[in-house]
Structure 1
Amino acid sequence: MNIFVGNLSFKTSEEQLFDLFASYGEVTSVKIITDKFSGNSRGFAFVEMPEQDEAQNAVDNLNDSEFDSRTMAVKEAMPKENDTRSRKKHY
C-alpha cells in the first residue's frame, strides 16, 4: 500500500518516518517530497508498505496522531491521475 503522510514538520527526516512506520511492519520506501528549487521539505511524504494488513494498521493508528510536534494526516494514497488539460505556453 502506498500511504500519504501529511502535515509533517519541515524538520522530519525520512529515517524518522521509516522507523515510525517500521514499528507496524515492513517498509519498502519512504519519500519526503521536497521543493524542486529550494530542496526544502514540502511537509508531506509517501510511505510504501507491501503488506496490506500492516499498512492499514499503521494508517489506523497513526492518522491524527502527534509526531515531531505536528498532528499527522495519514491515509492511503490515491493514484496519480494524468492531467489531460492543455497547457498554454507563455512567451
Structure 2
Amino acid sequence: MKILVRNLERSITQAELLELFEQYGQVDSCVIVMDQATGKSKGFGFVEMPHARDAIKAIKGLNTLKLKGVGIRVKAAEE
C-alpha cells in the first residue's frame, strides 16, 4: 500500500522517515521528494508497505504526529 506523507520539516531524511514507519511493519520503499533545482526537500514523500494491515496502523498512528516540531499528515496515496 502506498502512503503519502505531507508537511514534512525540510531537514527530515529518508532514513528518519523509514525508521518511523518501520515501527509499524515492513517497508518496501521510502522516498522524500526533492526539488531538482535546489536539491532540497519539497516537504512530502511516499512510503510503500506490502501489508495493508500495517499500512493502516501506520496511517492512524502517525497522522498529525509532531516530527521536529511540525505536525505531519499521513494518508493513503491516490494512484
RMSD of aligned C-alpha atoms?
Answer: 0.5
Listed as ranges, the matches of 1:4-23 within 5 Å are 4-23=4-23
Aligned partner of 2:62 in structure 1 is: 62
Aligned partner of 1:27 in structure 2 is: 27
Q: Deviations over 1:33-53 (max 9, x none)?
A: 011111100000000000000
| Mapped partners of 2:28, 2:14: distance in 1 | 12
Q: CA deviation at 1:10?
A: 0.3
Q: Secondary structure of 2:55's partner?
A: helix
- Considering only CA atoms, is the larger Rg found in Structure 1 or Structure 2? 1
Q: Give the TM-score normalised by structure 2.
A: 0.97
Residue 74 of structure 1 aligns with an amino acid whose one-letter code is V
| Mapped partners of 2:14, 2:76: distance in 1 | 18
| Mapped partners of 2:20, 2:53: distance in 1 | 16
Q: Secondary structure of 1:11's partner?
A: coil
Which segments of 5 or more consecutive residues in structure 1 lack a partner in the other structure?
80-91
How many equivalent pairs are there?
Answer: 79
Percentage of matched positions with identical amino acids: 38
Which segments of 5 or more consecutive residues in structure 2 lack a partner in the other structure?
none
Tell me which stretches of 4 or more aligned residues in structure 1 moved more than 3 Å. Answer: none
Q: Secondary structure of 2:31's partner?
A: strand
More strand by share: 2
Q: CA deviation at 1:18?
A: 0.4
| Mapped partners of 2:52, 2:9: distance in 1 | 26
